[in-house]
Structure 1
């Protein structure tokens, strides 16, 4: 012992020496410490450890106990004390190891068994507690109660409730007032959802023993279950102070603070956890809620998604992630999260609103009505939401969906009758329901001073073509508001619709007297002057508008229209550069670039804009126009396909793509697009049904056409249109008399090229060739430039009036000098007429244009033959015969005639034997040639 004291003195001196020779002193101290350590016994280390524990110097006590075990590894007391030390900090796994060793070394069971049971409990090794049953039999009452209490709690936590109840009764039989008896009973009540009783019992347990660590934990759980979050946090904090190594306690504290709306403090605990376990789901959940409350949507979304990625699939996390994404304008992510939980949300929950908006943004129009099923607008804000959504759907072309939402808005409106009627009226008009005007009139009747109602009625009347009503309302409003420029503008709008430009101009000029810089008057005056050819005045008004509103698309558009030069283009470009996200300016700039033939730049701007369900029709049409000008057929059809995919509610791409394939003579490819539209978003489209039935008739699918024609919509069309379809059906059914009757009615209403051709074909099929020619001549009298119809008329003259056929063909040649068919027909007609010079002239022009066409070569050969150029004729006719593969009877007979002219009678006879004729004329000619050949 003296040696150890001496060594301690030397250690003290070593500190002094350290100032002069640190290295030597450090080595010396280390040697003396080592020498001292070797001489201290295990019991002395244990005694030092106990003293350190009393001083709460836990690290020193741990070192002393480990040193004791180095001296004596079988020291049961050292093992026990070390296990007890670890357990006192909540480090259950290490505690279990040490306490198990102490137990195996036969340390006092009254001390070790209850602690080992508690260590197993904290380590969630519930079955291992049962292995201590035999060891618990001989324990003193206090130790036995603790052991059985831990066993009972383990049974509760492993959901063995009957066992827990049996054990609790056993504990109570030993003592009703023991802190752990009360704790065990509290756990059983908690498991049975008797939360108030559990709280009472655990509180009594703490009164019986204020140092019952486990009671603090349960009291935190029970308080949380009773929504007493402040109390829960307080008890969890006490437990955490006593058991700092139980990491999960911080989560309990943070969650309780969160539920108590103590977001800042909850976040601190969450941060502490995330510093070591960055993906801990509950900590991320707490952090997400805290960030969401602070409107830090970026971090809220990030933490919510981290928790969700750990399979912590709480609906609230989906709600936070989805709502945060929505607020960050990330509609795809918002939809991804919210669509999963929407059915779990109440009908009027805000998540349904933002999901519906996200679906609108993503073009998932079909899902919106389902999302809002049962959504009852109980506030004016909710009614406005539904109204706005309905407007937007209508603007996109989704009229059926818009009507459903509009109905919801109207049924749930709670405002005054006037306001409700205005909203209802406008929604109806947006969805093509003219009765909306009546709603607006009711609104004005209920509240004569309702702002904007008169204006809405006037515009509604204009939309429905009721100009008299529009004018009446506009005049009434102008008389009420004689000093407001807008009242004169409204009056001008009606006059413009009535095409009373002089009155419109007067109203607009009066409007400028009331407000010299009002945009509507300036732009409309520019437009009126431009349409009437007064370009100087148009430019004057447009320039005034641009000077006042240099960034206004409408003003710039009229200015460019009146003066499409580089200066106007520069003004448009300048406005666009300032607000490149302004759709109206972007569309105007693209139009101006197309007009100035800068197609490359126009395409850059056009393709730089988003392609979605909300993309304006104008932009799609601009892209298509550019590709047409560039003759880029691949990009043209690709763009139409993209449009169709982005917005299936627009009818234009359906019609465009079907028309494209019709022009390509691929009607079978056009029909599927019409079918898809009719089976989905355009099921009530009369236009598409009309197009389809006509295409079916074009390809002689009579049964399908007649079936579609029975559709009530087609049966209710205008009588003229219906007659057209009935006429075409009759034509295919070979009821030509009926076809003539129906198609005549149709043609009189719509005197187009296609319709006159249809009618003339019906006349011809009904053996009324003269009437066919008459209707074609009448049409040409009004459509002098239509050479396609003139061609049909000339063809009809071929067999009846050759002179008229020649005159008609000669007229066509003036406009179409390279029309091979006309040149060839003229050559043949002149040949038959005996005017060989003209026949030579036209046949030479025809063969120069189509040197490999067998009919053209045949005509050339016969002209040569009749001109006495037998050898040349034989060569040409031989070439025509080979090109036609001998299948054209007329060409074959002409070739035989050329062989005879060149004294090749035997070859002619062989050829004539092969020819199989069908008509009497061909038979007679064959017989004559055969007679010559023989």
Structure 2
């Protein structure tokens, strides 16, 4: 057996009136066991079953459903098998829109002996309330042998199911069939009215409502139509009044209270809407319609984080709920979460492409993401229509300007002014565009005109001052800035802009005084503070820099620029712990932000806390999946964590994201080199050197690759060139390291030991120590190698990579007791490491501890049953345990997974021979010998073939 083969090594503008109809808004899941309101019940009296049921029916007639349930539960407590009471309780739960509870009671009623026909329709309706539309359509069989009233009721349920799925033609056909069977089925008319409401056909909807009134004017769903019709027509005042009347009849109805809140919200009664929806959520926190209304209430109140939370609750149970998706996207955009907003609105527009407001919102999101071409295409669909408005033209102008088309941007702004000539904002935008086009004087004139149109606008005066500064008109800018100070003396902008103007005139003392005045007017102001930081840096006053930045964060605790500058100041002062604490706080305050996560990960890598680095980057990787800086730090973390396979995947993404960056190709090459994939490593490094032939790190890595490939002459030539060129970044460590690899390739182990010894002396870390120990092993100094590793672990007992290396070294030296002790120590902290388990199992096997070997390798197999090396080890251990059938099976799998691994194929042949399966063993051995590759132990294999051929 090849013992060395057994040793495995260590190698993530919303509109308040959203486009929805009240009746269809509420066709979502009901929440089981959740109702509103309290009802009194005489708990002291003792009633018979019949009396409880009579009282429950009376309460139901009055609309006090909560009291009805209390009566029926009291009855069932004494007589749990009372089928009629169960049936009535199920019907009451349907009245309460509690489908889950209704289904439970109706099933119990059926089991207790209620006529199945009387349960059929209400049971289907209970499923309907839970949103089980497809299930009802699949399972609801309406036989002609059923009583006509039952058939009619079931056709209504079928219609409701189709309507819940927005299949309105099929729904209409079902309702019409129900009415043909029973013209007095009030719910058939209600269903038809709801279809016409959903389609915007309010005239026909009113006709069906009138027919329903003739049948049963007091039915709750008939009364609900009054509110639905008013809301569908935009008359939310009438709708709210209708639902307020209805809620008095059904005070515990979460459905009616929710539609009341929606009507109040659209009737500009946010306070009342919030009160009603809070009552619903208090008892039904997961009720989707209520969470949707709460999301819109929060959005209108500018509580955007709350709006996202409520919308998320809806989408968790109703992922295709488009209005909630619209709220989620708009609220995320308001919070600055551009990628999340884009994902939500993109999905919304795929379902509702004609929503003009959502399309405009998408364009704003795309521009915020820097995707001006996409924004223009999004808006261009609307621009082709005849109903262009000034808002649309302004957005088209912004998109055009962002993508650099100044002429088109100016054209759209001029068109917008034709529609709305009194718009000061558009006039100001046109002025800025003129300036950007080179027409500075004309542009400044337009800006001055916009101020004349809106003399109290602080923002337009700020824009004028900024443009005067950009035009180099410092005196005019300073004068405008002083006008700003008079207009708003308690705002920093006027003083800050004066400071910038004075700085341009080289009046640094006056500039600094202006910035200080800005900070006095508005303590913690970012612009004033950052400008004063520049003065403090020039004057070499780090304490003053720190004071200013802390002042910003005191007022603006989430200011990313101040957080990162303060962390950088700590780094420059050598305060690494403070730096990490500041960056951790920055990440915590802005969990989706890219830069704080990258800088924190880099800080963790510098302190070799690579697992924390990977954890912090995983949280933003999904938001920025192709960001080069993020991919680079993730890959470096994976390399430090001993995960070159993962690093290769990451660096491959990096080369795709930055194909013309030499560093990205070098990083991929270094990961492939660590994995031992020399041909691909050379290919990646060639790519780096084609882009930048002077890339120092790539040249050194190429020396190592060439040396390991046995191309010693080429490696020496490249090394000599490096020494001659003395490139920037050339360090003695890099040079000695390269010389060490060349020496190893030449089998000059003495020189390799000298070179790697120098590297370790200059940089005494575990990686360099392990490299030196390998050189000593090859140079015939195993005791020295083991001694070095052992001494290191005395100082650094938690260095698992070095402990694993030492255990492997002892295993290779057949020092099985020491190897076992090393692996056993590792398993105390890495009990689920399959590589450690594999090597420990092989150690036990060599010590003759067969039961321990079997038990340990089976733990490794449970973790990695697809790893050929582990399967190979298991096969040999099973042979030693005389479990020949298991050995053959598991080695067959190893061969399938690694058909090019010659040792594994030989071990498989050995297992077949031991099991007496000579013919199969012969086939494997003949294939081995027939291959066009070098076989070190050909004579041994030929002998095995003779045994296979013998009788």
For Structure 1 versus Structure 2, the TM-score category normalised by the shorter chain is 0.3 to 0.5
- TM-score scaled to structure 2, two decimals? 0.44
Larger relative contact order (CA 8 Å, sep ≥ 6) = 2
Q: What TM-score do the two structures reach when normalised by structure 1?
A: 0.45
